[in-house]
Chains A and B, each alone.
Chain A
């Protein structure tokens, strides 16, 4: 459309791939290659071995994977519940129509701002704040796994809120109006009409939250107790002491686990959207 000569097209594509492949595809390929390398001091890895994987899937590393999966699961469930609730409440406040005042719309917008705030605040600072607040009475969580899950939940709730809010805006109000006009109570409308319609976006939001929590490093570095070490921290520890190939294998495990969960979630989503 933009370039009309065949030669020009080929030149554009060549330029595209010259930029795209080294910048975006190469990094991921290199990590996979390094995870198999026994040795890498020339142009290409040598002494290929699967040893790093056997190290990455036993003992403390396996425990780190479980820790990450559990943390991500806990954080995304909390975030999904809180984010959906808040998004529904905000949507109701902002709803145009009878009985909504300017004040209530203002409340709705305030809710938007409040729940999006964790995106703007640096994750390290969220970690510091949670550490400062829960290291002293009345609630002492320092050194427990709860504090890690809590920090992750705070960080990802904003994303759950954002995607559910966007989905509510796209929802056709005719369905709930029809249900309500047939005498369905608000709770029934919410449970049998609104939430099922929102299900595809809810699963998408869950997948996003899970992926973000799996890769979270900044706040975790401020908070993690020795017996609750998530995978990213473990990757950092391996790389920091010079075991970069083990770090790469762990990183591949992290990417694979994240992708598997995202894939499973998208399967649920396609099933949900066909219903």
Chain B
């Protein structure tokens, strides 16, 4: 206050309407609250208000007790963890080659990965239908080669393995991008020194490159984990009745069964898992400086 009165003459000399910074933050926050936070709050509210009226935790005990929910929860978690591990291993190996065993056209490959990221996920499942579907390419090649009649050996597409393959394919570029950025920071002289001292390539990767890449791996991995937990398009396009994940369960409860309280309960569980993990991702990526 005292300083305000002291600087008052100066203010008069150059009159300007000074609005505090937080006022500028109000309009976007209000907008977000109205179209996003309020709807989310309503979902939480509806999850504790069954159709019969009143407030109870009955919908939760109903949903937690049901076989389909527990199965969906299990499938979602193992698929997400499996896909994340797959993406990390594959993404690390591929990024390693692009960065440290450079070949002509490596830039084009990196560009291709960027383009790949801008396509929707369900395209992968769609194309897997043509490659590994019952009447697809792989089975066609097999029957042509062996002359066997009937269906080919590739029938995994409608099982969780098909979803796993699609998720690994789609999400690996999300791991590769931060990794390539991290690899470009590594001083190649370090690698030269290590190998001139007699270290084998595998040892260089383990002792020099991996420690440098660890933050990027952690950040990319946790992002992919969250995205896999939330993935819907891939599972929907697979069209398999026995592969149900949490987002799929939300969709089928709400749209096919019109059971909104149950859909809201599943939604709340899904939000809790994903937001929790996302918080972890933010912490990890801030540490990584990404």
Task: Report the minimal beta-carbon distance from A97 to chain B, rounded to whole angstroms.
Answer: 11
Q: B38 at interface (Cβ–Cβ under 8 A)?
A: yes
Q: When the two chains form the complex, which single residue of B31, B97, B250 contacts A16, counting CB atoms closer than 8 Å?
A: B97
Q: Is A82 a contact of B28 with CB atoms below 8 Å?
A: yes
Of A53-61, A109-117, A195-203, the one with at least 4 CB within 8 A of chain B? A109-117
Residues of B within 8 A of A254 (CB): 120
Q: B270 at interface (Cβ–Cβ under 8 A)?
A: yes
Q: Is B101 a contact of A9 with CB atoms below 8 Å?
A: yes
Task: Report the minimal beta-carbon distance from A220 to chain B, rounded to whole angstroms.
Answer: 10
Q: Is B94 a contact of A16 with CB atoms below 8 Å?
A: yes
Q: Could you tell me the distance between the alpha carbons of A107 and B20 in the complex, rounded to whole angstroms?
A: 13
Q: When the two chains form the complex, which single residue of A31, A117, A157 contacts B126, counting CB atoms closer than 8 Å?
A: A31
Q: Could you tell me the distance between the alpha carbons of A4 and B141 in the complex, rounded to whole angstroms?
A: 38
Of A171-179, A234-242, A267-275, the one with at least 4 CB within 8 A of chain B? A234-242
Q: Is A122 a contact of B270 with CB atoms below 8 Å?
A: yes
Q: Is B94 a contact of A248 with CB atoms below 8 Å?
A: no
Q: Is A40 a contact of B126 with CB atoms below 8 Å?
A: no
Q: Could you tell me the distance between the alpha carbons of A117 and B195 in the complex, rounded to whole angstroms?
A: 45
Q: Could you tell me the distance between the alpha carbons of A235 and B100 in the complex, rounded to whole angstroms?
A: 40
A150-169 CB mask vs B (1 if < 8 Å, else 0) is 10011001000000000000
Q: When the two chains form the complex, which single residue of B22, B129, B136, B201 contacts A104, counting CB atoms closer than 8 Å?
A: B22
Q: Could you tell me the distance between the alpha carbons of A130 and B36 in the complex, rounded to whole angstroms?
A: 7
Residues of B within 8 A of A218 (CB): 230, 232-233, 247, 251
Q: Could you tell me the dominant secondary structure of chain B's interface residues?
A: helix
Q: B32 at interface (Cβ–Cβ under 8 A)?
A: yes
Q: When the two chains form the complex, which single residue of A117, A124, A255 contacts B251, counting CB atoms closer than 8 Å?
A: A124
Q: Is A259 a contact of B115 with CB atoms below 8 Å?
A: yes
Task: Report the minimal beta-carbon distance from B33 to chain A, rounded to whole angstroms.
Answer: 8
Q: A23 at interface (Cβ–Cβ under 8 A)?
A: yes
Task: Report the minimal beta-carbon distance from A212 to chain B, rounded to whole angstroms.
Answer: 8
Task: Report the minimal beta-carbon distance from A145 to chain B, rounded to whole angstroms.
Answer: 15
B244-284 CB mask vs A (1 if < 8 Å, else 0) is 00110011001100001001100100110011011100100
Q: A70 at interface (Cβ–Cβ under 8 A)?
A: no
Known: A104-B21, A117-B275. A217 touches B255 (CB 8 A): no
Residues of A within 8 A of B22 (CB): 93, 104, 107
Q: Is B29 a contact of A111 with CB atoms below 8 Å?
A: yes
Residues of B within 8 A of A124 (CB): 230, 232, 247, 250-251, 267, 270
Residues of B within 8 A of A232 (CB): 120, 122, 233
Q: B27 at interface (Cβ–Cβ under 8 A)?
A: yes
Q: Is A217 a contact of B28 with CB atoms below 8 Å?
A: no
Task: Report the minimal beta-carbon distance from B25 to chain A, rounded to whole angstroms.
Answer: 4
Q: Is B140 a contact of A30 with CB atoms below 8 Å?
A: no
Q: Is B25 a contact of A107 with CB atoms below 8 Å?
A: yes
Q: Is A31 a contact of B127 with CB atoms below 8 Å?
A: yes
Q: Is A30 a contact of B137 with CB atoms below 8 Å?
A: yes
Residues of B within 8 A of A48 (CB): none
Q: A13 at interface (Cβ–Cβ under 8 A)?
A: yes
Q: Could you tell me the distance between the alpha carbons of A26 and B172 in the complex, rounded to whole angstroms?
A: 15
Knowing that A129-B42, A132-B260 touch, tell me 15 more A-B residue pairs with CB under 8 angstroms.
Answer: A2-B101, A2-B204, A4-B195, A31-B130, A34-B127, A41-B140, A100-B21, A120-B278, A122-B246, A124-B230, A125-B250, A215-B119, A221-B255, A232-B120, A239-B129
Q: Can you offer 7 A-B residue contacts whose CB atoms are under 8 A?
A: A31-B127, A129-B43, A130-B39, A221-B255, A239-B129, A244-B130, A259-B118
